[in-house]
Chain A
Amino acid sequence: MRNLFVPLLLLSLAACGSAPKRYSPPVVDQSGAPPVTDALPQGEPLGQTAPAPRPAAGGSAVVALLDQAQARMRAGDPDAAAAVLERALRIEPRNARLWSQLAWVRLRQGLPAQAEQTALKSNALARADYRLQAANWRIIAKARWAQNDADRAVAAERRARDFEERGLREPARVQ
């Protein structure tokens, strides 16, 4: 399990350096307009001025916390690692990679049911990141094995392989 933690972490570091990809539902014509709803200081009229483009919410902060979480895992303290990841999630609550990391840590904490649910949460936010979804399905498979749910564990392994293949066909989503 630990072997997988490190490459996952490297992946996360690579992805965390930039803003999370904005998904645009075909609701309104967005014509590349900058996100003007975010980051408004108190008392200022909304939507009347477009603030300067904003960097990723907490890019380097989240990277620093991922480092910390990794150090705690190496020290054999998954409880502490979980606390650090929860802190990171308060900064970037929609970061699918953070949820995936937390799912791994939950497995190490001996909480397979929570590991599975947390990995599902990561998948819900992962959008088209197939490699991440593959990793999450691996976690789910392990969690289901740990709960003696063999049929559903095998199904999860199948999903993991599907996403791995799709991930290979797609260029790596490092942006």
Chain B
Amino acid sequence: MARKKRKPGRRRSNGRRKARRFNIPWIKVALAAATLMAGYVAFLDFQVYRQFEGKRWSLPARVYARPLELYTGRRLAPAQFADELKALGYRFVGRPRRPGEVARNGSRFHLISRPFRFWDGQEPSHDLVVKFSAWGVERLRTGDDGRDVALARLDPMEIGSIHTARQEDRILLQLAEVPPLLVKALIAVEDRNFYNHHGVSPRAIARAMWANLRAGGVVQGGSTLTQQLVKNFFLTSQRSLWRKFNEAVMSLLLELRYDKDEILEAYINEIYLAQDGQRAIHGFGLGSRFYFQRPVGELTTAQLALLVGMVKGPSYYNPRRHPERALQRRNLVLRIMREQGIISRAQEQQARHEGLGLVGSVEGTSKTFPAFLDLVRRQLRRDYRESDLTSEGLKIFTTLDPQLQWALQKSLGDRIRAFSRTQPDLQGAALVTSAASGEVLALAGGREAGFAGFNRALDARRQVGSLIKPAVYLTALEQPHRYTLASLIDDGPLEIESGGELWQPENYDHQFHGRVLLYQGLAHSYNVASARLGLELGVEQVIRTLRRLGVSRPLRPYPSLFLGAAELSPLEVTQFYQTFASGGFHTPLRSIRAVLDADGQPLQRYPLTVQRVIEPAPALLITRALQLVVEEGTARSLASRFTADAGLAGKTGTTDDLRDSWYAGFDGERLAVVWLGRDDNQPMGLSGASGALQVWAALFRRTGVSALVPAAPETIEWHAVDRAGGGLADAGCGNTVQLPFVTGSVLPGPAACAGPGGWIRRLLR
């Protein structure tokens, strides 16, 4: 990393030869002392060398959200785009000139994106004009010559780092990346003689004393940058003469071995600038991100001056806590810069009028997602040692979609707040995934999104209730010679003996509904009909189906399983429903796309894998049944809120005494699972439809839906069926439903309303 300048020590061996000629006792003592001292200096030298040559800093793994892809036809609202750019620290200006700047004119954005190295290669900086229409990106062109651009990727939002308690965190900079203005300001303020001294500067000490006398307080320190670096780098903060001596010797040694630029670069990366909870913010690279949310190369003169000013006392001049003090310090730095001829008087005046320019958290667009990071960490721990994660500077690219995450947090938070008027202890959790790829796009572990606590999405295991029923109905529909969506099943009173006890399932409305169509048993979530169907199929058979669908937890083989006597976490439910949402393909849920090492080399990819676990025909039948849950069943309140051709599918779940409220639903592209309940498992008054479903609806209204149009295999034929009696309908029938049938399965007979004279029979009835 660093080049050796020259070997110290020649002078020491000369001294030894001289000493041998004079055999006087006091010289012997001096010689012994000198030898000891030389040994000690060699020891210090070794320390300096080892620390500087080896890896100097252990770097926490950095975690990124998915990058925003821009292309014509992308669904995105201008306001969402603006939010994302703000969160990425883009500066809104009149005319963009540098990466990280954007000009907005209504629905037209002109920006210069930042270059970034991804797992699949380098994304260069783009000069882009993005034009939005009502539905999304209408046109994407280059800003300079107006050529159409097919696709561009923004730099990804950093959403966290993986560090140990009280660990230092930093973003390493090379000197070439540091704005010259910052270097000049730093030297002017901290060590004006930096390029001329040998590590310790008596002149600097004298000048600092003089400056401090003149200013009537401490405005300059006497330590050189080298001494400050040594102090931070090798020594404890204990104040003593011995430490001062060590500091001076090591500073001299450092200067002997390394050149000024190397020392400066180390200083820029080492300097302590802030405390962020358990994490210590070191170096101007991370300091810039921490306070201004943008790379150091994009800072204004005023912002650079603030960072330089904070070196003197990061907590005393903390601009978030003491803005007045920080402003005065910054303006002093600006004055010194002007006095030293680094900036002009006009530049100083302009910079003085700037605000501190700190980023707070923008309402609703916070960048801390502790619950999602929790999932990422758990997936990483399967493949990496903890020490590698906290020290090797890995880059972790995740699947998090900040737009969806913000929308989810807001939808969940708003609805729970509304319900809290009657249920103050209500909690909730939710996940959103991509239906095709199993990527986890958003995750909420509780009602307070920014709060790292009990992660209900991963760790709350709750009864799933009726959410389990699609597994029962799928088991039936996979036997097309026995069952179709129009088969009649019995929802009359049922008593069976299970485990020595009499079991009498009841419906939610405490009524029995007689003979119903098979799909209606699911759509209306009839317990008795579902239990009877499950008994016909056998509990072992249903458990085998659940295993195929991705439920791996041990399940009790009792009939109560048909009604959801199984405890799963929202994450496990999501994996289960993922199989339905992807049309019968099991797709492991993933929160990580790739991991790069500190040099940007791919270490590991987490590829997309699929496995077909439901044949195409039954996959279509169960999807249609889940669509009918929304069209006419327990989730029909959705039907009025979304257009009919959205084709939404889903299932409600409610447990005894209203302890758990579930909804799992999907459109053509995304699956979302929502759970509401209390941590102490007490009743909270909400069913799946009145609770979780409302959160789901709020989320999808906020983010928009894409039509679910399931692919029908060739072995499927469609028929209109009479809703009331289940027979095949014709034009004479009024109340019909279109159902798919596997070719060759036993079709129902003609409906009472169908055939010649059907309408007369209807009249007579």
Asked whether A25 is an interface residue with its Cβ less than 8 Å from the other chain, the reply is yes
Stretch at the interface among A120-128, A149-157, A167-175: A120-128
Contact of B642 (CB < 8 Å), options: A46, A61, A89, A121: A46
The reply to whether B707 and A37 form a contact with Cβ atoms under 8 Å apart is: yes
Cβ contacts under 8 Å, A121 to chain B: 585, 610, 612
Q: Are the CB atoms of A56 and B120 closer together than 8 Å?
A: no
Main secondary structure of the interface of A (DSSP, over half): loop
* Neighbour of B738 across the interface among A25, A79, A93, CB < 8 A: A25
A38: contacting residue among B75, B150, B605, B713, CB under 8 A: B75
Q: Which of A30, A35, A121 has the most CB of B within 10 A?
A: A121
Judging by beta carbons under 8 Å apart, are A42 and B80 in contact?
A: yes
Residues of A44-102 contacting chain B, CB below 8 A: 46-47, 51-52, 54-61, 63-65, 79-80, 82-84, 86-87, 89-91, 93-94, 102
B452 to chain A, nearest CB (A): 27
Contact flag A79-B605 (CB < 8 Å), given A40-B705, A63-B150, A91-B71:
yes
Find chain B residues with CB under 8 A from A10 CB. none
Taking the closest CB of chain A, its distance from the CB of B365, in whole angstroms, is 12
Q: Which residues of A contact B701 (CB under 8 A)?
A: 46
A-contact 0/1 string along B622-662, CB 8 Å cutoff: 00100000000000000001111111000000000000000
Across chains A and B, the number of contacting residue pairs, with CB separation under 8 Å, is: 174
Return the chain A residue nearest B150 by Cβ. Answer: A64
Interface of B is mostly: loop
The reply to whether A41 and B738 form a contact with Cβ atoms under 8 Å apart is: no
Q: Which of B645, B667, B703 contacts A28 (CB 8 A)?
A: B645
Is B134 part of the binding interface, using a Cβ–Cβ cutoff of 8 Å? yes
B611 within 8 A of A: yes
B136 on the interface (CB 8 Å rule)? yes
Closest to B71 in A: A61
Ordered by A's residue number, 25 sampled pairs between the chains whose C-beta atoms are within 8 Å are: A23-B711, A27-B738, A37-B642, A37-B704, A37-B705, A37-B707, A39-B135, A39-B136, A39-B706, A40-B704, A41-B135, A41-B704, A42-B407, A52-B133, A58-B151, A60-B148, A65-B151, A82-B607, A83-B594, A84-B120, A114-B607, A114-B609, A117-B609, A117-B612, A125-B583
Contact for B74 among A30, A58, A120, CB less than 8 A: A58
B151–A61 contact, CB under 8 A? yes
Is residue B530 within 8 Å, beta carbon to beta carbon, of the partner chain? no
Nearest-CB distance from A107 to chain B (Å)? 14
CA distance A84 to B605 in the complex (A): 12
B436 within 8 A of A: yes
A47 to B646 Cα, complex, angstroms: 10
Q: Is A43 at the interface (CB under 8 A from chain B)?
A: yes
Collect the chain A residues with CB atoms within 8 Å of residue B641's CB: 46
Flag B732-751 by CB within 8 Å of A: 1 or 0 each: 00000010100000000000
A15 within 8 A of B: no
Interface residues of A (CB under 8 A from B): 22-28, 30, 33, 35-43, 46-47, 51-52, 54-61, 63-65, 79-80, 82-84, 86-87, 89-91, 93-94, 102, 114, 117-118, 120-121, 123-127
Residues of A within 8 A of B644 (CB): 28
Contact of A30 among B609, B611, B645, B712 (CB under 8 A): B645
| Distance between B588 CB and nearest chain A CB, rounded to angstroms | 12
Instruction: Point out which of A57, A89, A127 has the most chain B C-beta atoms below 10 A from its C-beta.
Output: A57
Which range holds the interface residue count of chain B?
Answer: 35 or more
Residue in contact with A22 in the complex, picked from B74, B608, B709, CB distance below 8 Å: B709
Contact: B120 with A87, CB < 8 Å?
yes
User: Which residues of B117-165 are within 8 A (CB) of A?
Assistant: 119-121, 133-136, 148, 150-151
Given contacts A41-B704, A124-B585, contact A117 B610 (CB under 8 A): yes
In the assembled complex, which residues on chain A have CB atoms less than 8 Å from the CB atom of B738?
25-27
Chain B positions 422 through 434: 1 when the CB is less than 8 Å from some CB of chain A, otherwise 0: 0000000000001
Report B-chain residues with C-beta under 8 Å of the C-beta of A38: 75, 135, 704-707
Closest 4 CB pairs of A and B: A41-B77, A39-B135, A40-B704, A61-B71
**Residue in B436, B624, B740 whose CB lies within 8 Å of A89:** B436
Q: Is B727 interfacial (CB-CB < 8 Å)? A: no
Give the CA-CA distance A83 to B738 in the complex, in Å: 40
Beyond A40-B75, A57-B74, A114-B607, 12 additional contacts (C-beta under 8 Å) are A22-B709, A25-B740, A26-B718, A37-B642, A37-B667, A41-B79, A42-B702, A43-B79, A46-B641, A51-B134, A93-B435, A124-B585
| Interchain CB contact under 8 A, B73 and A59 | yes
Give the docked Cα–Cα distance between A42 and B699 (Å).
10
Min CB–CB distance A75 → chain B (angstroms): 12
Given the known interface contacts A37-B705, A41-B704, A42-B407, the answer about A64 and B151 at a Cβ–Cβ threshold of 8 Å is yes
